[in-house]
Amino acid sequence: MGWASAGGIFDPVAQALIDLDADEATKRRVLGPLIEKLQDGDWDTEHESLQRFQDDQVIVAIFAECDVHLAGDEDEAD
């Protein structure tokens, strides 16, 4: 059974980093481990969070490194 509410944890953290104009290294240090931990807890709506932050290329890249891709981008990752 998936965990749909994990976006309620991820999204505010990602938005705060954007609002604070965090650099790439900071986003990677915070969001990479956060995504992995939420996925370990069976996060099943990570695509919704990715969609919300699709305009931030660093966040998109971090999700891709965690095997979550925007629709149509899966082929590019191969």
Chain centre distance of CA 66: 8
* pLDDT, tens digit, 9 for 90 and up, residues 8-27: 999 999 999 999 999 999 99
Domain boundaries, the chain: 4-77
Which residue, among 12, 77, 56, 42, has the nearest Cα to 68 in the 3D structure? 77
* For residues 33-47, average pLDDT: 95
Half-sphere exposure at residue 2, Cβ-oriented, CA atoms within 13 angstroms: 10
Q: What's the pTM value of the predicted model, to 2 decimals?
A: 0.87
- pLDDT at site 49: 97
